[in-house]
Structure 1
Amino acid sequence: MKSQTSLLNKTLLSHFSGTVFWLTIVFMALNIIALPVSIWIVTFDRELYPDYTIPENLLFQMSAGQIIIGMIFSAFLAMFLLNYLNDEASSDFMHSLPVKRTATLIHVLITGVTAIVVPLVITAVILLAEHMIFIPEITVTDIGKWFVYAVFTHIVIFSIAIFAGFLVNGIFLHLQLIILIMFLPLAVWSLTFAAATALYDGISSSFMEQSELVLTATFPYVAVNQLYEGINILHSLIWAVAAVAAILLAFAVYKFRRNEYVTLNFNFNWLKEILTAVTTVAGMLAIGTAVSIFIPVSAVSSIIGFGVGAVVAYLIVEMFFQKSAKIQFSWKSIVCTLIVIILFWIMFITGWTKYVNDVPAAAEVDSVYISSDYSYYTGETLDEYFKEGYLFNGDKRVIDSAVTAHQAAVEDKSFPTIYTDEETGHLEIQYKMKDGTEMIRTFQTLASDSESLKLVNQLHQNKYDMNSDFLANVKQHPDMTELWLLNDTILADVKLIDDYQAHADELLKYDPAIVNNTGRIEVNAGYKNNYESGYSSIYNKAVLEQIAASELTVEEMMYVDQSSTMYTAELSDEEMNTFINDYKKLTIDELADEYKLQNLSEDEKTEMIEQVNNLEFAPEGNKLLIYSYPEYETPEEEYPGGSAEFDFSILAIQ
């Protein structure tokens, strides 16, 4: 005859299993759709795409959706399993049973882990069947790795959600708290960064490189990101320890939890005050930043926006936390929130003011990248796909000029979200310091004729900017699958890289103003799991040979034809740099008047196109062809166009 304890244990397991049975069925169905079915669809008709090759890590790439579904399921699983704590009658009944609280929680955990593991096992079995029948590329090892990783990610979320359930009373509050635990640090930092960008000029444009710590503290991001970038053992261990700690804390909190507190929203009032204050700060930043961006009138409007945002955010947070639109105000909560807001703004203003005004000493800089163009590269891609020195210059003269330009930019910058009709320039500065750290600053409010931008333009007047040449610096990477030139019109062999680099030094013989600003062609490199692009020179012998071997004409590659507007200019050496600077500032009509450009007739256009198709370029000379895209129309007087640089390109011709 079974003991009473055994019967109670069986009854508890049956009760909790019944509570989440249909939720588990839904999870299993979504699992099967998200992974086995999706993979089957992707690989179903191979004859339709005979050249398609299945990536080595297809299973991990395809499992992002399943992992996200599983994490959401794990959170809801914990919410439903602990929902008995939110009802006074249910809580009293459960705790009146002759079962210790620790035993009850153990039954909850067993039920939850089973509900997670069983659907994953079934999914793994289906994947094994697919492997044996028609997708041999998905190995048994890959399936095993996926299974272990999926169980790990789901149980981490489940553990944290279980702990959160003992801090509040109410399934809706439980959901709110799970979301706050998972995403509040990332939300606060993202909004702080956005607010700083709206209030200060000179902040790095690279959010990801400034957010590594807070992203690591956001488990859903870590869980999905590791599918693509590989498992980070350290990060996984940290989160495993966090999951164990959450379960241990859940046991501790449950042991001392009082049933009479079930009518309260939060079991710990101090937790509510802290969450209210921090969440209010996040809401304040969101509303204030939106006002600063969409109503760019003055600094006063931004201050009002943040003030109104704080009030509105506080009211909304209280309504959510009190589960009622009829708020009961607490002076303690209001004072706590005000103190946190004041402390936040003190740290915000002090920290970001120091950040944007910080200029390194030239002696501390190892190399620098400084440009008035936008940079789309990360440190990881530079190290992986390019030779050391790509974009970055270690020449002492360049470093000194960059630091001087940086100091001038700090002095010339203005409030970024106040609209003016003045034309502004972009300045990107990235330092690699001798101590191994990096420093990135981006300026958006500098006048186009500011001292800092003039210094940047002067940096490339002495010689060809080899550091920014894509083909001169890209590596022969084993993962490179394709190499495209000239707006993806020429598919080049990867050996072009070696040929280009062999002839790269020839570009140093020409006028820097010509080779740095004319004949720039787009180059795109495709990799197995990545894509990189940049600019190189059409005047390189290897590129000219590649173009000559193509079946396409140059006019097709460079988007120029009889309908294009064309000018020619013959300039002295002294005029060349000034012309290039004006080309970036003046409209085409102003440029034509200033330098007496010759507007080509239809017959002259025909001759010029033939000359271009014959690759009759002359970077060693002083004659330039300035041409527009096809069907270019001159802007009307009341709607003047931008600078000539936007609509016209330049080639050095014979």
Structure 2
Amino acid sequence: MQSKTSSFNRGMWIQSMRNVGWIGLVYLLVLLFALPLQLIFTFTGKVEPYIEKPDTLFNVLDGLEFVFMFVVPVLLGIFLFRYIQTKIAADYIHSLPIKRSTLFHQNMLLGALVLVVPILITGVVTFAVKGVLTVEDVYTTRDVLSWVGYSILINLFVLTGTVLAGMFTGMSVLQGIFLYVLFLLPGGISYLAISNVKFYWYGYAYDYYVNKNVDSLVPFSHVAQMVAHKSFSTSAFVYIGLIVLFYIIALITYQKRKVEAATQTISVSWLKPVFVYGVTACSLMLGGFYFISMKGEFSWMIVGYIIGSLIGYTVAQIILNKTWRIFTKWKGYLGFVIAAAIVGFIIHLDVFGYSTKVPAASEIESVYFDEDIYPLTDKPENYANGMNGYYEAPYYYTSKETIQSVRQLQKQITASKDKKLDPDKQSEIESRNGKMAVFAYKLKNGKQMVREYFIPFSDYKAFYKEIAETKEYKENFHPLLRTKNTNKIKSVSFSVPGKSNSINITNPEKVQELIHVVKQSMMNETFDEMYSTKESWASIEFMDGKGQYVQTASWDKSYSEVEAWLKKEHLYERARLMPKDVEKTEVFKNSSHLKNDYRLQEDFTSLTKDEKSIKVKNNQQVETLLQRANLRDIGDYLVAFYYKDQVDTPQVYMLNENELPNELKEKLK
């Protein structure tokens, strides 16, 4: 029986405090250990020079306090409302002359205090500790306030989420499970849906949607990104809104919840079919994705759908009914199968023409075209601490000629449709120098259309050549060309494979000269040189005054202007690998058609033991092989260089028949 006579009950408050007060005490001790105590240990007395200052206070002890934000509030939420999950306690508590709303508000207020008070105390202690550290500027007052604010926000978010999950089940164990499922469900369903659809629609931008959407839908990863910043972001208001929403829904559900719901798997009748078919749908997508990933054939995907959905439906019914005797429940599964088959058939038909859609030129404002989809999902805040260099926004082409050429390439790709579902076709594409092609159109209506394809590059060279010969494309292909303010570059270093000592140029005049020369070589590159698979001589790193990367570039073997400049400065032999830097060179006949992958690099000796080989000792021949060393995946011959700085492990390259000198070719016949 419910009563309307009391708005606060001191006895219940004391009883609840006895039940959960220890959690607050333990949480306080954990926070004091993880933050102020670790700061004292690390930054007082003699501090080792290699120890870096933390980016945020969440990184002090490898993010331990971050982990507890998703553990402590869950335990607290379970213990606060433990009485509604047992029949005797539920009957007794709800027979008292106390409103359910009063019980709910009191428990939630107590829960908030148990979490917030330890955080505030830890924040005060952390602020006070700042004065005893021997290292200056380890953190600021703003860092402390940010830590306190985010800690309170996320703890309350997890607490209200736990309480909400508890209102829909009658079992405390399931309350914690449901909470984590609630957090993982949006991102998990999105990931499974995206992973399955990519096998139906040619060109589906799987990586783009996963990187852009899935992480932001999973609180664990999203919170980790959010707390990495020292100021509040707009995402904080989303979490505040969710806290209010969870609180209201939990309150309404609690007021309507039946006492008999205690010990039941699902306490709300309308949620039972949602639970069963939700689990079945997720298992179906997981099964289909797993089987096609393993076998690569559409028929196996169907098998995965059947097995996954059967397992999911069975497990859901067993959990719901708490018994193995579910053999009378199969009518619902048959209905699910029919509905899933209809949905799958509609997706397979591609009624909206996703696979063939190419926007009209009149609809396009600009277009991104590259091999890498990551720039489309990269964010400026990832570079806020300066550790990752400078943020580069994705480059969009705006000229009508380039846009038209890019459109023509995509139209040709969609017309050929090298489907990913056929493993033989995939192998064929790889053998023809497979390449990713990413298209992102900014449309005049404000929308963006993204597609990605894995294509045989050799089949589309004519289309690529038309695009690559434009100045606009070269500026995109080489980010250094669009770096206008080169004055921030204070040093240039050459990192050479096989050489431990690199060149570092710091003379301001020489630095600017070299930048100009590298840009000149980039602009003079031909299409074949731009897409050559030859190993470059070195990696060129352009750094600012703080030692952070501004840009990186490769010193390709076609860069004659760079070569001439280095020779003029007497740096040429130091800036590249020379025959004198090679301890041993071997050439092998690749009669077994070995691929140049990680397995070949790691197990080279055992994989090539049956191949005919010769040792090359003539420096001129070694120089020729160095000049022609190729990174392609397959070739007629294998060339292994044992560098003096790393004699134990060879660096392996491929050469075709026409690339190996005739005198060496004769010896391998």
Q: What TM-score does the superposition give when structure 2 sets the normalisation length?
A: 0.74
Tell me whether 88-97 or 19-28 shows the greater mean CA deviation. 19-28
- Tell me the secondary structure at the aligned position of residue 422 of structure 2: coil
What residue number does 1:574 align with? Answer: none
Q: What amino acid is aligned across from residue 401 of structure 1 in structure 2?
A: S
Q: 1:403 Cα deviation (Å)? A: 1.4
Counterpart Cα distance in 2 of 1:59 and 1:405: 49
What residue number does 1:289 align with? Answer: 289
Number of residue equivalences: 585
What residue number does 2:95 align with? Answer: 96
What residue number does 2:575 align with? Answer: 554
What residue number does 2:641 align with? Answer: 630
User: What are the Cα deviations for residues 57-111 of structure 1, in whole angstroms up to 9, with x where unaligned?
Assistant: 4325448442332122212211121111111001011112222212211221122
Counterpart Cα distance in 2 of 1:346 and 1:38: 58
Q: 2:400 aligns with which of 391, 396, 402?
A: 396
Q: 1:58 aligns with which of 47, 56, 59?
A: 56
Q: 1:428 Cα deviation (Å)? A: 1.5
Tell me whether 88-97 or 492-501 shows the greater mean CA deviation. 492-501
Compared with structure 1, are the counterparts of its residues 207 and 321 closer, same or farther at alpha carbon in structure 2 (3 Å cutoff)?
farther
User: What are the Cα deviations for residues 224-262 of structure 1, in whole angstroms up to 9, with x where unaligned?
Assistant: 211225656433223212211221222222222221233
Counterpart Cα distance in 2 of 1:125 and 1:169: 39
Counterpart Cα distance in 2 of 1:46 and 1:127: 20
Compared with structure 1, are the counterparts of its residues 532 and 326 closer, same or farther at alpha carbon in structure 2 (3 Å cutoff)?
farther
Tell me whether 419-428 or 72-81 shows the greater mean CA deviation. 419-428
What residue number does 2:528 align with? Answer: 513
Compared with structure 1, are the counterparts of its residues 48 and 347 closer, same or farther at alpha carbon in structure 2 (3 Å cutoff)?
farther
Q: 1:143 Cα deviation (Å)? A: 0.8
Q: 2:440 aligns with which of 431, 434, 439?
A: 431
User: Any residues of structure 2 matched to 1:351-430 within 5 Å, and which?
Assistant: 354-371=353-370, 373-374=371-372, 376-378=374-376, 380=378, 392-420=396-424, 421-424=427-430, 425-430=434-439
Q: 1:643 Cα deviation (Å)? A: 5.8
Q: 1:196 Cα deviation (Å)? A: 2.5
1:170 aligns with 2:178: no
User: Any residues of structure 2 matched to 1:37-436 within 5 Å, and which?
Assistant: 37-40=37-40, 43=43, 47-49=47-49, 54=53, 57-62=55-60, 64-134=63-133, 136-137=136-137, 138-207=139-208, 211-212=212-213, 215-229=215-229, 233-296=233-296, 298-327=297-326, 330=329, 333-334=332-333, 337-338=336-337, 341-342=340-341, 344-345=343-344, 348-349=347-348, 354-371=353-370, 373-374=371-372, 376-378=374-376, 380=378, 392-420=396-424, 421-424=427-430, 425-435=434-444, 436=446
User: What are the Cα deviations for residues 169-227 of structure 1, in whole angstroms up to 9, with x where unaligned?
Assistant: 11122123212221111100111112223444422253457643x54444333322112
Counterpart Cα distance in 1 of 2:531 and 2:579: 18
Q: 1:512 Cα deviation (Å)? A: 4.6
User: Any residues of structure 2 matched to 1:522-533 within 5 Å, and which?
Assistant: 522-523=539-540
User: What are the Cα deviations for residues 301-337 of structure 1, in whole angstroms up to 9, with x where unaligned?
Assistant: 2111112111112212333344444447546753664
CA contact (8 A) 2:127 2:141 kept: yes
Q: 1:6 Cα deviation (Å)? A: 10
Identity of aligned residues (%): 16
Counterpart Cα distance in 1 of 2:320 and 2:563: 64
Q: 1:131 Cα deviation (Å)? A: 1.0
CA contact (8 A) 2:280 2:316 kept: yes
What residue number does 2:604 align with? Answer: none
Counterpart Cα distance in 1 of 2:579 and 2:205: 34
- Tell me the secondary structure at the aligned position of residue 401 of structure 1: helix
Counterpart Cα distance in 1 of 2:9 and 2:640: 78
Tell me whether 37-46 or 285-294 shows the greater mean CA deviation. 37-46
User: What are the Cα deviations for residues 356-401 of structure 1, in whole angstroms up to 9, with x where unaligned?
Assistant: 3221223433444445x44543454689878989754444333222
Counterpart Cα distance in 1 of 2:560 and 2:45: 43
CA contact (8 A) 1:522 1:533 kept: no
Q: 1:127 Cα deviation (Å)? A: 1.5
Q: 2:464 aligns with which of 456, 460, 470?
A: 456
What residue number does 1:502 align with? Answer: 516
Tell me whether 85-94 or 463-472 shows the greater mean CA deviation. 463-472
Tell me whether 22-31 or 408-417 shows the greater mean CA deviation. 22-31
Compared with structure 1, are the counterparts of its residues 465 and 234 closer, same or farther at alpha carbon in structure 2 (3 Å cutoff)?
closer
User: What are the Cα deviations for residues 537-560 of structure 1, in whole angstroms up to 9, with x where unaligned?
Assistant: 453757875795769823449996
Compared with structure 1, are the counterparts of its residues 144 and 304 closer, same or farther at alpha carbon in structure 2 (3 Å cutoff)?
same
What residue number does 2:476 align with? Answer: 467
Q: 1:24 Cα deviation (Å)? A: 3.5
Counterpart Cα distance in 2 of 1:413 and 1:559: 49
Compared with structure 1, are the counterparts of its residues 499 and 113 closer, same or farther at alpha carbon in structure 2 (3 Å cutoff)?
farther
Q: 1:150 Cα deviation (Å)? A: 0.6
CA contact (8 A) 1:405 1:453 kept: no
Compared with structure 1, are the counterparts of its residues 78 and 53 closer, same or farther at alpha carbon in structure 2 (3 Å cutoff)?
closer
Compared with structure 1, are the counterparts of its residues 348 and 362 closer, same or farther at alpha carbon in structure 2 (3 Å cutoff)?
same
CA contact (8 A) 2:170 2:265 kept: yes
Compared with structure 1, are the counterparts of its residues 29 and 417 closer, same or farther at alpha carbon in structure 2 (3 Å cutoff)?
farther
Compared with structure 1, are the counterparts of its residues 259 and 48 closer, same or farther at alpha carbon in structure 2 (3 Å cutoff)?
closer
1:36 aligns with 2:44: no
Q: What amino acid is aligned across from residue 437 of structure 2 in structure 1?
A: E
Counterpart Cα distance in 2 of 1:260 and 1:312: 30
What residue number does 2:452 align with? Answer: 442
Counterpart Cα distance in 1 of 2:580 and 2:223: 45
User: Any residues of structure 2 matched to 1:569-608 within 5 Å, and which?
Assistant: 602-605=618-621
- Tell me the secondary structure at the aligned position of residue 96 of structure 1: coil
Compared with structure 1, are the counterparts of its residues 288 and 607 closer, same or farther at alpha carbon in structure 2 (3 Å cutoff)?
closer
Counterpart Cα distance in 2 of 1:559 and 1:78: 69
Counterpart Cα distance in 2 of 1:509 and 1:102: 75
User: What are the Cα deviations for residues 107-135 of structure 1, in whole angstroms up to 9, with x where unaligned?
Assistant: 21122112211221232233223311105
Counterpart Cα distance in 1 of 2:149 and 2:31: 15
User: What are the Cα deviations for residues 392-444 of structure 1, in whole angstroms up to 9, with x where unaligned?
Assistant: 44443332222122122122224424322424312322334243544332222
- Tell me the secondary structure at the aligned position of residue 108 of structure 2: helix
Q: What amino acid is aligned across from residue 84 of structure 2 in structure 1?
A: L
Counterpart Cα distance in 2 of 1:163 and 1:156: 11
Q: Structure 1 stretches of 5 or more lacking a match? A: 567-582, 584-598, 613-625, 633-640, 650-654
Q: What amino acid is aligned across from residue 375 of structure 2 in structure 1?
A: Y
Q: What TM-score does the superposition give when structure 1 sets the normalisation length?
A: 0.75
Compared with structure 1, are the counterparts of its residues 559 and 277 closer, same or farther at alpha carbon in structure 2 (3 Å cutoff)?
farther
User: What are the Cα deviations for residues 17-47 of structure 1, in whole angstroms up to 9, with x where unaligned?
Assistant: 2323444344334434443355456546775
Compared with structure 1, are the counterparts of its residues 33 and 472 closer, same or farther at alpha carbon in structure 2 (3 Å cutoff)?
farther
What residue number does 2:601 align with? Answer: none
Q: 2:553 aligns with which of 529, 535, 542?
A: 535
CA contact (8 A) 2:538 2:575 kept: no
